[in-house]
Amino acid sequence: MSSAQKSEQEWRAVLSPEQFRVLREKGTEMPGVGEYNKHKGTGVYNCAGCGTALYKSSTKFDSGCGWPAFFDAIPGAVSRHEDRSLGRQRIEITCTACNGHLGHVFKGEGFQTPTDERHCVNSVSMKFKEGGEQ
């Protein structure tokens, strides 16, 4: 069975309560508390739900927003969806493989990055694997 086809009960069995709240219920962790907010290391950030490689450490930057920020994802790993849950339009990002909620992407904020985007990702949605970045 693919991870995208897991039942709620199966997800609860493999994720911590906080991972389930964020990944499966589209929650948000508190700013400034995430394990990877200030993390610096060379490697790959993988989906905490299914293990899919999402972001290379070379695309991570310090945005000062309180969550890990990346200017680009590994091609095909992250999907974008319109999100109007707060009464305004945002772009939600999810893991393409398991549809786990990662966070949101913002454009045109003026960061000096190659894409002028900030992928604002919940730390609890990811697991870092040292090395492996090409």
Q: Report, as residue numbers or ranges, the catalytic residues.
A: 120
**Beta strand ranges found along 1-134 (DSSP E):** 43-47, 53-56, 60-61, 69-70, 78-83, 90-95, 101-107, 117-121, 126-130
Each residue of 54-88: b (16+ CB within 10 Å) or e?
A: bbbbebbeebeeebbbbbbbbeebbeeeeeeeeee
The alpha carbons of the chain give a radius of gyration, in whole angstroms, of: 14
